[in-house]
Homo-oligomer: A and B are copies of this chain.
Amino acid sequence: MNRFEHIRHKPPTALETPRAMILALAPMRSNVNLSRIVRLCGCVGITKIIHCGQGKVDREIARDAADFVEVLQRRSLLPILKQLREEGYRMAGLEQTTNSTCLYEYKFAERTALIVGAEREGLSQDELNQLDDVIEIPVYGRPYSYNVATATTMAVYEYCKQFPGYSPAQ
C-alpha cells in the first residue's frame, strides 16, 4: 500500500461564492506573461482581467482558461483605476515604493483590484496615486526583480490562501 498515490483528474475546489478579485494590468510587453496570468486566473477562479494595450492571449499557454477568463482590452490604465475605485474595490498595486506593505503581512480585502505594472516601467506616479495600498514582495538575489507573471502569481496565491473559497469546517 503506497502512502501517496496519484489522483488524476481530481475535481477542483468549489468556490462558495465567485472570486471578488479583479486584475488590472498595464500593457504587457510579452503575450507570454499575459497568457500565463490568464491561465493562473482560470486556475484560481478569477474571471475578469482588464488589460491595457494590444496583447493577445496565446491559447497554447493559457489553455482553456482563455474560454473562462474575460480579458477586457482598454486603452490606458488610469481611467480604469478610477472606475474600479468607484466600484468599491480596494486598490492594491504590486510595486516597490515608499510606504509599501510586505506581501507576507498584507491582509487582502475580499473585493480587491490587483493592479500590476508593465515589465519594465511598473506603475506611474498618477497610477500609484489611485491606490489604497502598495504590496511589495521581498527580493533576495539576482536579478533583483521577479518576472511580472511570477510576482502576480505570488500575490494571487496569497489572496487565495486568505480566501480559500471553502468554509473552515470543510
Q: How many residues on A have C-beta within 8 angstroms of the other chain's C-beta atoms?
A: 65
Within 8 A of B (CB), among A126-170: 128-129, 131, 134, 137-147, 149-150, 153-154, 157-158, 160-161, 164-165
> Which of B40, B63, B139 is within 8 Å of A12, CB to CB?
B139
CB <8 Å contact, B143 and A6? no
CB <8 Å contact, A7 and B141? no
CB <8 Å contact, B68 and A141? yes
Closest to A128 in B: B4
- Answer whether A150 and B99 are a contact pair too, CB < 8 Å, given A13-B139, A125-B2, A145-B43: no
* This chain's copy number in the assembly: 2
Whether A97 is near chain B, meaning CB under 8 Å from some CB there, is: yes
A9 to B144, CA, bound (A): 8
Tell me the interface secondary structure of chain A in the complex: loop
- Answer whether A143 and B40 are a contact pair too, CB < 8 Å, given A95-B4, A97-B7, A104-B161: no
Q: How close is A133's CB to chain B, nearest CB, in angstroms?
A: 9
Q: Which 10 interchain pairs have the tightest Cβ spacing?
A: A45-B140, A63-B143, A4-B97, A4-B128, A154-B157, A45-B141, A13-B138, A153-B153, A64-B142, A68-B142
Interface residues of A (CB under 8 A from B): 2-10, 12-15, 19, 32, 36, 39-40, 42-45, 61, 63-65, 67-68, 93, 95-100, 103-104, 122-123, 125, 128-129, 131, 134, 137-147, 149-150, 153-154, 157-158, 160-161, 164-165
